Structures are given as C-alpha cells and as structure tokens.
C-alpha cells in the first residue's frame, strides 16, 4: 500500500454524545430544562437520529425518505435532512433545531480517537499518502486543524463538494486521484461496511473499525501501520 484513505466520523473522530450536544446548545441559548425533561428530550433526539455522526434513525418519516437517502450530496440537503429529523422532537424554542445542526459542525463537538494523531503521523513519516474521504454536508477541515490532524492529511474528498456520496466508486476515484495513487495500492479505512466498502469496486483494500465511543476504542487504528509500506 502506498496510500491510505480514511473515513471521518466513527473512524478518525467521534461526535459528542446527544446529551452533551443538547446541553451545549441550551447553554448557548441561555435556556434550561429540568433534568428529567432534558434526559427525555436527549433520548428522543437520539432515537430520531438527528445528530450527524450519532445513532441511525429508528424511523425516517416518509416525507424525509428521499432527502435522507441523498443527504450527503449537498450542503443544503444535509442540513434539511438532519433538521427535519430534529423537528420530530419538540424543543422549547424552534430556533434550537438549526442551532443543534450548527453545533455539530464545530470542532468542539468532535474528538479524535486516541491513536489518530499517532497513526497519521507515522504514515506521513513513512512516506504514505493520506486522504480523508467522507460522506458529509459541510467542511470538516476546521475540525482537523483544531485537533492537530490536518498537518498529516494530504487531501480531503468530501461528498457534498463532489455531488456524489459513498458507496459510489466515483468518490473513491476522486480521492485516489487527489493523492495520485493507484486504487490497487490504496487502503480504505472506515466504519460503515456498505458506504466505505464501495472502495473495493475500484480495487482498494478495505479495513473496517468499529465506531465505538472514545474511551472504548484506544488503539483500533494502530494495526493499519502493519498493512502499509
């Protein structure tokens, strides 16, 4: 392998909990909820799947089904899909739905997995090309800069910037082209078997990790170092 492509959410970084997400937005809006009501609201938001990078929706309303299926193809569709899910849950102020969406795009809402910097640095020092290829509706580069990951990334291939989303092989082809690497010499690392597994159609080798909470996954990325070079 001469290059490695990484997924973002659940692979290199993990989104905060729904409870933390909701509390941060309520605090910013100078609003409070009784603890029991806050816990109930957080659980409802989790079931709805309104937090990007969080739980899969327990149910996607019929009116959102088509939007949900193509949510990562544009910034507008991504926002509409997730705020549409959020709006299934009553909140004390209707403006909080957009505030919740805006919160998840901030570096403060994300944390790298414990071994992410170590692995990316080792790949860079070993002369291995590193790319990020993500199904997403917003620019994640500020997250990488804030968490000191950006110096070790050579290219970013984001679905909303290309109008195509994983598992479509065209997104992986664009990622390989950005690195100047042959897909057959490229390893794709991700946490979603259907989406990230699409790289195999180009001839990429694919390695999966579990999108566990930060504390439960201290070193799942380290084995990658033995797969390249």
Question: What CATH number does the domain located at 3-14+111-226 have?
Answer: 3.40.50.1000
Domain ranges of the chain: 3-14+111-226, 15-108
pLDDT of residue 83: 98
Position 185 scores a pLDDT of: 97
CA dist., res. 82 & res. 48, Å (int): 9
- Residue 139: the pLDDT is 98
Q: Long-range CB contacts (< 8 A, 24+ apart) of 145-152? A: 145/107, 146/107, 147/13, 147/107, 147/110, 147/111, 147/112, 147/117, 148/117, 149/12, 149/13, 149/112, 149/116, 149/117, 149/120, 151/124, 152/117, 152/120, 152/121, 152/123, 152/124
**pLDDT tens digits along 135-181:** 999 999 999 999 999 999 999 999 999 999 999 999 999 999 999 99
For the whole prediction, is pTM greater than 0.85?
Answer: yes
* Number of neighbouring beta carbons within 10 Å of residue 108: 12
Cα separations (Å) of 55 from 14, 17, 21, 49, 59? 12, 10, 13, 5, 11
User: Rounded to an integer, what distance in angstroms lies between the CA atom of residue 70 and that of residue 82?
Assistant: 12
Characterize the bridge pairing of strands 186-190 and 3-6: parallel
Q: Return d(Cα 69, Cα 165) in angstroms, integer.
A: 10
Query: Is residue 135 classed exposed, middle or buried when 0-12, 13-18 and 19+ CB atoms within 10 A define those classes?
Result: buried
Q: How much of the chain, in percent, has pLDDT values that exceed 90?
A: 99
Stretches in the chain below the pLDDT threshold 50? none
For residue 115, give both structure tokens: 């071994």
Pairing of the two strands 110-112 and 13-15: antiparallel
Q: How confident is the model at residue 27, as a pLDDT?
A: 98
Nearest Cα neighbor of 75 from 109, 102, 40 is 102
Residue 17 has a pLDDT of 98
- DSSP H helices in the chain: 18-28, 35-48, 65-69, 75-86, 96-104, 116-125, 141-146, 159-162, 169-179, 193-196
């Amino acid at each position: 392998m001469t290059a490695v492509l990484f997924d973002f959410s659940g692979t290199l970084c993990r989104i905060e909990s729904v409870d933390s997400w909701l509390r941060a937005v309520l605090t910013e809006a100078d609003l409070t909820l009784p603890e029991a009501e806050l816990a109930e609201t957080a659980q409802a938001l989790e079931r709805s799947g309104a937090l990007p990078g969080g739980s899969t929706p327990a149910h996607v309303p019929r009116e959102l089904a088509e939007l949900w299926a193509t949510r990562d193809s544009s910034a507008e569709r991504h926002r509409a899909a997730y705020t549409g899910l959020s709006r299934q849950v009553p909140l004390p102020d209707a403006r909080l739905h957009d505030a919740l969406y805006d919160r998840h795009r901030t570096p403060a809402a994300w944390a790298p997995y414990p071994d992410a910097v170590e692995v990316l640095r080792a790949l860079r020092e070993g002369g291995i090309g590193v790319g990020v290829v993500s199904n997403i509706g917003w620019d994640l580069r500020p997250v990488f800069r804030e968490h000191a990951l950006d110096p070790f990334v050579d290219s970013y291939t984001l679905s909303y910037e290309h109008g195509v989303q994983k598992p479509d092989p065209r997104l992986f082809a664009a990622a390989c082209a950005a690195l100047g690497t042959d897909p057959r010499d490229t390893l794709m690392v991700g946490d979603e078997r259907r989406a990230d597994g699409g790289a195999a159609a180009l001839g990429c080798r694919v390695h999966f990790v579990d999108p566990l909470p930060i504390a439960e996954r201290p070193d799942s990325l380290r084995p990658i170092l033995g797969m390249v070079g």
